Amino acid sequence: MFPEYRDLIRRLKTEDAHFLKTFNKHNELDDEIKELELHPSSEFTNEVHELKKRKLLLKEEIFLMLKKAPQRPN
């Protein structure tokens, strides 16, 4: 996710607890979605859809944090 921000992500994960929590929650949802999609069934369709919406909201939040983070010179 966001390879162009790889260094900034690495830095924020160590310096910003909220960023780390949001980033980890996004990855947890991604793993949960992948697991549910391995065993497709109609009973999980709505659940997967809701998880994907939550994951997208987290991704948007992460992107905003990346855009607002102070940049350090190389």
* Segments making up each domain of the chain, as ranges: 3-68
**What pLDDT score was predicted for residue 68?**
96
Pick left, alpha or beta for residue 5 (phi over 0 → left; psi -120 to 50 → alpha; otherwise beta).
alpha
Listed as ranges, residues in the chain with pLDDT below 50 are none
Question: pTM here?
Answer: 0.87
Report CA Rg, the chain: 15
Q: Single out the residue of 9, 29, 6 nearest to residue 19, CA to CA.
A: 9
**What pLDDT score was predicted for residue 39?**
80
**What pLDDT score was predicted for residue 13?**
97
Q: What residue spans of 1-74 are helical by DSSP H?
A: 6-15, 17-38, 42-68
**What pLDDT score was predicted for residue 45?**
84
